[in-house]
Structure 1
Amino acid sequence: MSGLTVGYLSIDKLDLEIKQSIGTLEEKKCHHYLLVTLLLSNAFAMEALPIYLDAIVPSFWAIIISVTAVLFFGEVIPQAVCTGPSQLIIARRLAPLIKFLMFSLGLVCYPISKVLDCVLGEHDITRFKNDQLKTLVQMHSKKALQELQIVQNENMGLSNLQTNIIAGAFDLRNTTIDQLITPYERVFSLSIDTILDKEVIDLIKLKGYSRIPVYYGEDHSFILGLLIVKSLIGLNVESPLSLRELSMKGQCLIKTPIYASPSATVGQMLNIFKEGSAHLAVVCQDPERLVDEANDLLEAIKQGRDQQVSVTSHQILGITTLEKIIEQIISMPILDEKDIEKRLRNPSGQFSMTIQDESNRDMQEMNELLNETNQNFISKENQKIFNAKFTQLFAQKLESQVKEDITQLGKRVSSLYEGDRDYKNIGMDPKFSQSLLDRDI
C-alpha cells in the first residue's frame, strides 16, 4: 500500500490530461479521497503484520521480521517499482483494487476527504506561465537533451526549428512592433506628383517591391497610400503621367494603408494582416487620425481637388510588414527571389545588409557614391588645395616614369649595338642619349 500511495499520488494530473487527450488513460480524480483510502489501508496492513507474527513466533523475532518485511517489501521495493517507468501501467492494472478499497472504506474515508477538501482546497492541476512554458520548451530541445546526454532516439526532443517557432509564439503578446519597423527616412517612397516615365519605372523594377508608399507634400510629411506595383502592368511610358493623374483616371491602384501604433503587439498586427486589407503597415503616433486624413486625401485626389495636410512628419515613425511579423514569430529571416540586398532583423531590432549574387552592381553603386562624394568635396573650399597637390603629385610621377623609360631604352640600345657607328645606323647619337638621362624633366 505504501508503494501504491506514492505511485498514485505522484502522478501529475497534467500528465494524466495529456494522456487522456491521446486516449491512453482516464484522468485521476478525488485526490484526498484516494489519499485517505491508501493511507488507511497501509496502516491496517502494517499494524496487522506484527500482531499476526506475535502469535506464531516469539515477540523479539516478530519485531525483527515485521520491521524487515515492512522496510523491504512494504516500502523500498514497492515505492521503487511504483514510481518507475511503468508507473502508469501499474496504476491502470491495479485500478480495480483501488476502487474496491475506496468503496469498502468509503464510510470512513469519504467524510475525512471532504474535510480536507474544505480546509486545504482541492488538488488542482499544475499550470505554467508563458515564460515557464517557453523555458520548458527550450529544455526539451534536442540540443538541451544532448547536453544532458538523455537523448535515446531520433524522435526524442524538439528540433531547433520547432523550438524557435514555439518560443516565438510565446512572445506574440510581449513584443511590440516598434522593434520591427524600418525608419521612415530609409523607406523607398514616391510622391503623388511623381511622373511615371521610363526612368521611374526602371527604378521601381530595380527595387523589386510589390507595394510602395506614396507620400503627399514636398516634405514627405504624410503617407497617404500604397501603390500596388502590379497595377502598373501595361502602363504606357511613352506619354508618362503622374501618380495623381493616373489615380484620377483609375489607371493605377493606390490603397489606404494600415496605420498602427508603435505599442501594438506582434499578435495584434498578425490578426490585422490576416484580414487581408494590406501586408504593409505605417507605424505612427496617432493612427486613427491618419486614417481619416488619408481617406479624405485619396477622395480629394480622385476628384481632382487639392487639400492641405494637417499632420506633421514626426508622427510617422516608419513601416512594418507581414514578412517581418512572420520572421519575428519563427525567429529566422525569410528570403525570396527578389532579395538582392536583403535586410535581416537581429534580436535588437536593427538591420544589416547581406550581399548575395550582385557584387558587380554593388561595386558600381559604391563607385558612383565615391565619385559623388569626391565631387562634393572638390567643389567646396578644398578645390584649390586639391588641384595644387594633384598637379604636383602628377608632375613628380610623370618625371619619374619618363626617366625610367629613357634608362630602359638606353640599356636596350647598348646591349644590341656597340660603338658610335651602330648608334648612327639607328638614328640615335649616344651623346644625345646620355644627355637625356642627365637632363631634368
Structure 2
Amino acid sequence: MSPFLSGCLDTLHEGGVGLDSATALCSKLAALKASPLESLEEEPSHFASFDKPEDWMNLSVALCCMLMAATASGLTMGVVSLDELELRVKERNVNESKTERGYATRILPLIRLSPRHQLLVSLLLLNAIANEAMPLFLDKLVPPWAAILISVTAVLFVGEIIPAAVFTGPAKMRIAALLSPLAWFIVMLSSPISYPLGWALDRLLPHAEGLPTRHEVKALVDVQREMAAEHSASAGEAFHEDEADLVRGALSLSQKLVVDVMVPLEDVFALPADAAMDLATMKQVIALGHSRVPVYWGPAKSSITRFIHVKDQIMLTPADATPVASLRFHDPQWVGPEDSLFALLNTFQEGAPRELLSPFQPLPGRPVPFL
C-alpha cells in the first residue's frame, strides 16, 4: 500500500469514517493524483530507437499513408482535370500513335463515370484519410513537435508539389493510364460513401458537356496557326492559309444565306444579246476566266435571264463575229435571297444547274445584287 493511501485511510478512520467508505474514497483520490503523472510519463519525448517491431510497423504505415496521399492527390490533378473532348479526339485520331490512343481508351471510362463526381469524391476521401492518419503513427515515433513538422512537410512536398509536377507533366496520360486500375479500385472501395456523395453533387452541380461551338472551332484554327508560328512547327503540322479559309468557310456555310454572298450587279460581267463574239469579245471572256457568262437583253444588265457556257464556244471563229443571241443558252436556277447556302450545296450535288439568279429588290441607293 502506498504511503498516500495509508495516510488517507488513517486520517479518515480517525475522523469516524467507515473502513469500506474510506477505502473507496482514498482509492479514487489516489487514481486522480496518479493519472496526470502517468499520462505525462507516457507522452513520448524522444525519437524511437526502432528496437521493437512496433516502431518499424508504425514507420511502414506512416510511409504508406504518405504514398497514398501523394497518389490520391496526383490522380485528382492528373485524371479529373483531363478533358473528355481531348481524350475522344486522341482516341479517334488515326495519325496518333497506337500507344497514345490506347491511353485515351483506358482513361475515358474513368472520366465518364456516373455519377461524374464519384471519382473526385473517392480520391479526395482517400487523400483526407491518409493525411489525417499519418500524424497518428508518426506521433508514436517522434516527439509531437517533430510529428507536426514532418506531417506538414510531407503533405506540402510529397503530397502536393511533387504529384502536381509529375501527374500534370508531359507523361500525364501515360501515368494516368497505368494507374487507372488503382483508380478503379479506390472508387469501388469507397463506393458506399463516394457514390451517394457523387450523386448528390451531380444534382447540385450538374456536369456541363464541353461541346465546342462553330465559332470556337473556327477560332481554334486561327489559334493553331498562331501557335505553330510561335513554335516554328513544320509545314505539315500547321494549317495553310487556304486550308484555314476552307475550314472557316465550311463551318459558316449553314449560317450564311444567299443574300450574304450576292455580287453587286454593277460588278457582274455580262454580255448584251446584240453583241458579237469577235476577237475582242473572246479575248475579254478568256482574260476574265469565267466558265459561265450571263447574257442580258436591252440596255440594262438587270434583264439577265440566261447564261452561256464558255466551253461551248471553243469552236467559234472570231472572224465570223457570231451574234451572242444565236448562241446556245442555259437557263439558271432561281433562288430566294434568304435561302441557305448549305441547302444550295446539296442541290448542286443532286445535279442542279450551277447558274443562280435571285430576284431581290435593293434598298434605295444600293446596287442591284446578283448571284
Output the TM-score relative to the length of structure 2: 0.65
Counterpart CA distance in 1 for 2:237 and 2:293 is: 46
Q: Which residue of 2 aligns with 1:202?
A: 279
Quote how far apart the aligned CAs of 1:179 are: 5.4
3-state SS of paired residue (2:368): strand
Q: Which residue of 2 aligns with 1:132?
A: 216
The residue type equivalent to 1:133 in the other structure is: V
3-state SS of paired residue (1:5): helix
Say whether the 8 Å CA contact 1:258–1:282 is kept in structure 2. Answer: yes
Quote how far apart the aligned CAs of 1:166 are: 2.2
Say whether the 8 Å CA contact 2:74–2:167 is kept in structure 1. Answer: yes
Q: Judging changes above 3 Å, is the alpha-carbon distance between structure 1 residues 186 and 5 closer, same or farther for their aligned structure 2 residues?
A: closer
Counterpart CA distance in 1 for 2:330 and 2:140 is: 96
- The alignment of Structure 1 onto Structure 2 pairs a total of residues equal to 279
The residue type equivalent to 1:38 in the other structure is: L
1:44-59 → structure 2 map (5 Å cutoff) = 44-59=129-144
Q: Which residue of 1 aligns with 2:335?
A: 260
Q: Judging changes above 3 Å, is the alpha-carbon distance between structure 1 residues 65 and 127 closer, same or farther for their aligned structure 2 residues?
A: same
Q: Which residue of 2 aligns with 1:42?
A: 127
The residue type equivalent to 2:85 in the other structure is: L
Quote how far apart the aligned CAs of 1:145 are: 4.2
Q: Which residue of 2 aligns with 1:17?
A: 88
The residue type equivalent to 2:265 in the other structure is: Y
Quote how far apart the aligned CAs of 1:189 are: 3.3
Q: Which residue of 1 aligns with 2:7?
A: none
Counterpart CA distance in 1 for 2:307 and 2:199 is: 66
Say whether the 8 Å CA contact 1:14–1:125 is kept in structure 2. Answer: no
Q: Judging changes above 3 Å, is the alpha-carbon distance between structure 1 residues 229 and 315 closer, same or farther for their aligned structure 2 residues?
A: farther
Q: Which residue of 2 aligns with 1:214?
A: 295
Say whether the 8 Å CA contact 2:291–2:311 is kept in structure 1. Answer: yes
3-state SS of paired residue (1:212): strand
Provide the aligned C-alpha RMSD in A. Answer: 3.2
Q: Judging changes above 3 Å, is the alpha-carbon distance between structure 1 residues 50 and 157 closer, same or farther for their aligned structure 2 residues?
A: farther
Q: Which has the higher contact order (CA 8 A, sep 6+)?
A: 2
3-state SS of paired residue (2:253): coil
Q: 186, 190, 195: which one pairs with 1:105?
A: 190
Q: 200, 212, 229: which one pairs with 1:146?
A: 229
3-state SS of paired residue (1:50): helix
3-state SS of paired residue (1:138): helix
Output the TM-score relative to the length of structure 1: 0.55
For the pair 1:77 / 2:154, whether they are aligned, the reply is no
Of all paired residues, the percent bearing the same amino acid is: 32
Counterpart CA distance in 2 for 1:153 and 1:10 is: 29
Counterpart CA distance in 1 for 2:314 and 2:221 is: 48
Q: Judging changes above 3 Å, is the alpha-carbon distance between structure 1 residues 89 and 216 closer, same or farther for their aligned structure 2 residues?
A: same
Counterpart CA distance in 2 for 1:233 and 1:156 is: 43
Which ranges of structure 1 fall in alignment gaps of 5 or more residues? 247-251, 287-313, 321-441
Say whether the 8 Å CA contact 2:278–2:321 is kept in structure 1. Answer: no
Say whether the 8 Å CA contact 2:334–2:356 is kept in structure 1. Answer: yes
The residue type equivalent to 2:251 in the other structure is: F
Counterpart CA distance in 2 for 1:315 and 1:261 is: 18
Once the two structures are superposed, what CA deviation does each residue of 1:322-360 show, in whole Å capped at 9, x if it has no partner? xxxxxxxxxxxxxxxxxxxxxxxxxxxxxxxxxxxxxxx
The residue type equivalent to 2:328 in the other structure is: L
Quote how far apart the aligned CAs of 1:103 are: 1.4
Quote how far apart the aligned CAs of 1:172 are: 2.5
The residue type equivalent to 1:215 in the other structure is: Y
3-state SS of paired residue (1:91): helix
Say whether the 8 Å CA contact 2:278–2:319 is kept in structure 1. Answer: no
For the pair 1:29 / 2:112, whether they are aligned, the reply is yes
Q: Which residue of 2 aligns with 1:436?
A: none
Q: Which residue of 1 aligns with 2:368?
A: 317
3-state SS of paired residue (2:370): strand
3-state SS of paired residue (1:136): helix
3-state SS of paired residue (1:125): coil
Say whether the 8 Å CA contact 2:360–2:369 is kept in structure 1. Answer: no
For the pair 1:60 / 2:145, whether they are aligned, the reply is yes
Which ranges of structure 2 fall in alignment gaps of 5 or more residues? 1-71, 94-100
Counterpart CA distance in 1 for 2:140 and 2:183 is: 30
Q: Which residue of 1 aligns with 2:77?
A: 6
3-state SS of paired residue (2:308): strand
Q: Judging changes above 3 Å, is the alpha-carbon distance between structure 1 residues 5 and 87 closer, same or farther for their aligned structure 2 residues?
A: same
The residue type equivalent to 2:229 in the other structure is: Q
The residue type equivalent to 1:200 in the other structure is: M
1:26-425 → structure 2 map (5 Å cutoff) = 26=105, 27=108, 28-30=111-113, 31-121=116-206, 123-141=207-225, 143-147=226-230, 150-151=231-232, 156-178=237-259, 180-192=261-273, 194=274, 199-206=276-283, 207-208=285-286, 209-217=290-298, 219-232=300-313, 234=315, 246=326, 252-264=327-339, 266-285=341-360, 317-320=368-371
Once the two structures are superposed, what CA deviation does each residue of 1:38-89 show, in whole Å capped at 9, x if it has no partner? 0111111111111111122222211111111111111111111111111111
Once the two structures are superposed, what CA deviation does each residue of 1:261-298 show, in whole Å capped at 9, x if it has no partner? 44445544444444443333224317xxxxxxxxxxxx
Say whether the 8 Å CA contact 1:283–1:316 is kept in structure 2. Answer: no
Q: Judging changes above 3 Å, is the alpha-carbon distance between structure 1 residues 17 and 317 closer, same or farther for their aligned structure 2 residues?
A: same
Q: Judging changes above 3 Å, is the alpha-carbon distance between structure 1 residues 4 and 266 closer, same or farther for their aligned structure 2 residues?
A: same
3-state SS of paired residue (2:147): helix
Q: Judging changes above 3 Å, is the alpha-carbon distance between structure 1 residues 238 and 77 closer, same or farther for their aligned structure 2 residues?
A: closer
Q: Judging changes above 3 Å, is the alpha-carbon distance between structure 1 residues 75 and 144 closer, same or farther for their aligned structure 2 residues?
A: closer
Q: Judging changes above 3 Å, is the alpha-carbon distance between structure 1 residues 50 and 317 closer, same or farther for their aligned structure 2 residues?
A: same
